[in-house]
Structure 1
Amino acid sequence: MSSLDGESQQLRDIATSLGIPVDQLSPQLIDRLSQDPLFCHHLVASRDAPEFRELLLAEANAPNASSPPQTRRFSFGSLGKVAASLSKWVFTGAPLVSVIEYDARLAVCATCRYNSHFGSKALGPATCGLCGCILAAKARLGTERCPDVEAGPSGRWSKPQSQASASC
């Protein structure tokens, strides 16, 4: 299988997970999905509400004149990780952690040496130096875990919520 075939399969997997045609997966939509787990949850939940789904897709793809254009784009290598994570999250019922758990996860990340903002005044979303994920998005998903295996099998966070009860 060529690299291009693999990239196409990853896009098909993401589209299938979301229940949308692959031609609707724009770079803007993929960026939004990776940065905003609540948006992703709404997109999955709107499968039976096509009008709402169209509004969500239009919002994600609309140019935003008030903010500068984003220069960061995903490589297809990281797209595979996003696809796997998104599929796992969707197929387990799209669980989000509680606000308390979310805040606790971010507090742990704030003191982690792998946090791209650790010890700096960097702008933009903080990312994990181990997996490349945007911390605010990863910490919200109930199926995710901290990738720092040196800290233990569940990383620096408690075990993923998907192993406990899931709630939206």
Structure 2
Amino acid sequence: MTDTPYDRRTLAEELGVPVSRVTDAVLAEIARDPMFPHHLELCRDDPGMLDLLLGPYEHADEGTPGNAELLGRAGAALARWAASGFGRVPQETYQGRLAACRGCDQLKAPPDRALYRLMGGGDGRTVCGMCGCDVRRKAALASESCPAGRWEASGV
């Protein structure tokens, strides 16, 4: 990598990735952590490792939670679910929650990201644009709620 300050295009060319993958968040991380460019350079010939390094920053500029944030939220949700005794809502409540989600303008197709591919079943609009959760899974958990309060507002 060059010794000059990093710009988006130069860094993308050196890594062999599209310019869109070098977000403002990546540039901010380079400014924060002087070892980050070194790690990128070491991984530039390994697409999987490069994805791990760039992945958490890819959607940070869009206001969409990145992989690291989503994993943190999933961990917190798992802890809440465990604390509640792994409770699930009755089928009627589950269907009501899903209906509320389907009528929401925040529901969207899952982004093309490894985390959502690992969850599987990324067909159609299944991801909440507010929290990033797969609503088909979240709606079943008794410990969870809609970030916009729509489940409660719809009486489920």
TM-score class, shorter-chain normalisation, is: 0.3 to 0.5
Larger Rg: 2
Q: Using CA pairs below 8 Å that are at least 6 residues apart, which structure has the higher relative contact order? A: 1
TM-score of the superposition, structure 1-length normalised?
0.42
